[in-house]
Amino acid sequence: MMNEKLILALDQGTTSSRAILFNKSGEIKFVSQKSFEQIFPTPGWVEHDPNEIWSSQISVAAEVIAKAGISGLEVAAIGITNQRETTVVWDRHTSEPIYNAIVWQDRRTSKYCDELKSQGHTDEIKQKTGLVLDAYFSATKLKWILDNVEGAREKAEAGDLCFGTVDTWLIWKLTRGKMFITDVSNASRTMMFNIRTMDWDDDLLKLFNIPRAILPEVKQSSEVYGETSTTLFSTKIPIAGIAGDQQAALFGQMCTKPGMVKNTYGTGCFLLMNTGNEAVYSKNNLLTTVAWKINGEVSYALEGSVFVGGAAIQWLRDGLKIIHDSSEVSTLAETVEDNGGVYFVPALTGLGAPYWDQYARGTIIGVTRGTTDGHIARATLEGIAFQVYDIVKAMEADAETQSTELRVDGGASASNLLMQIQSDLFGFKIIRPKTLETTALGAAYLAGLAVGFWESIDEIQSQWIIEKEFTPKEDKTKIDNMVSFWHKAVKRSQAWIED
């Protein structure tokens, strides 16, 4: 048995549910993970079974407690972080979902979004929510369920249904329906929440035809919301932290001051810049979002997404078959001194921010007789780094600030070569922390702060440990030349599909 108290982070992701126990030093003590089914009913549709989300999450929570050989008495608090925008609707009385969860990747409401654009609602939605009008967010998914599940709209009007993002669903289940809540970071991703008034917006609810009775109460990201009521833990445990996955990673990276930026190098790349207590509206196709609310104070962020980050490396492995394992890409790229004039724009599913071109396609350009698989590998790593560069430059323009460092996490951040390329491009430090599980760590920190496990953000800051720093080594003239060629390559890839 351990006598030190721990924080339990529940990290509910798109493909798996994880539970991680952290100690007072912010170190991972035990981890448990379980995948669950991805459901594709028809092309462009993506769903999850909400009961499977719950069962996978609660089973890893039980497993990690068992691995640690502790009881609920040793858990100081629970923090929750989750896949964002994914939409769950359930019966308030039976707690049974009325339809599968519609996942953030789902595109079934794209045409409806196009109709709203043609009616001129784009600016109103951006001003109120900070978001672009897109099927990505929860509002149109919720409307679809109310319009397409028999009897759903009548039940919703009567106050018999609950809508939630995944955090809300998990907390409802953990408390057996006693708590129907979300936090500001998740609410700000629904396209129904006004990030100025910090409340659900009546005009938008009217536009989407969504009754207010279906919506959860919006709380801070760090406060004691209540206690667990399940029989899983031998004692009641405070639930004390909630944040959407990217905001949790921003907090886990301790990007707590305006101008600080983090990038998660996953399948795609998610960049967030803390803009402090000011909601900065983007002129460069970025999203404005709530980062968190702690002790009554709201912090905002700018967000940009790269659709294809680590997925480009997976394509080298599965499509081109020039590597057997993703970890081999750096070794192959290091067989050449530079890219040999080859540029790869990884627009395999179109281009994300700041271009937002769904008709762009992947482009490898500058190929000669002397081009080798090493040049392709290097151009792939550079293609990921260039996309990140473009978003940070857009953020700097919007926030009217210059970045001095980038904090990194996610699978591809383990590549020293990619991180060195990134540092050379920016001409500033790239910082990789010791703990790369920054999403779960952020949720743990938010929960721990609320119960006094950690006294202050300053105390947490002091335990944030750097594993490696990368500083620029390349000549600036050469970098400027590369950036110029990159932008030429992007132009060649844009609007490729004419449909």
**Residue stretches of the annotated binding site for ATP:** 14-16, 267, 310, 314, 411
Contacts of 437 (CB under 8 A, 6+ apart): 11, 20, 28, 31, 252, 409
The 3-state DSSP class for residue 411 equals helix
How distant, in Å, are the alpha carbons of 117, 263, 271, 286, 332 from that of 385? 32, 11, 12, 18, 17
Q: In terms of DSSP bridges, do strands 217-219 and 222-227 run parallel, antiparallel, or are they unpaired?
A: unpaired
How distant, in Å, are the alpha carbons of 2, 138, 140, 439 from that of 408? 32, 28, 32, 12
CA torsion angle for 90, 292, 408, 436 (degrees, to 10)? -60
Q: How far apart are CA 241 and CA 82, in angstroms?
A: 12
**Residue stretches of the annotated binding site:** 14-16, 18, 84-85, 136, 245-246, 267, 310, 314, 411
What's the full length of the chain, in residues? Answer: 499
Judged by phi (left if over 0) then psi (alpha if -120 to 50, else beta), residue 120 lies in left
* Cβ count within 10 A of residue 282: 21
Q: What are the strands, taking DSSP E only, across 361-486?
A: 363-365, 405-409, 429-433, 466-470
**Residue stretches of the annotated binding site for sn-glycerol 3-phosphate:** 14, 84-85, 136, 245
**Residue stretches of the annotated binding site for glycerol:** 84-85, 136, 245-246
**Residue stretches of the annotated binding site for Mg(2+):** 15
**Residue stretches of the annotated binding site for ADP:** 14, 18, 267, 310, 411
Q: 175 is written with which tokens? A: 């408390």
Q: Which letter, b or e, does each residue of 258-272 get, where b requires 16 or more Cβ atoms within 10 Å of its Cβ? A: bbbbbbbbbbbbbbb
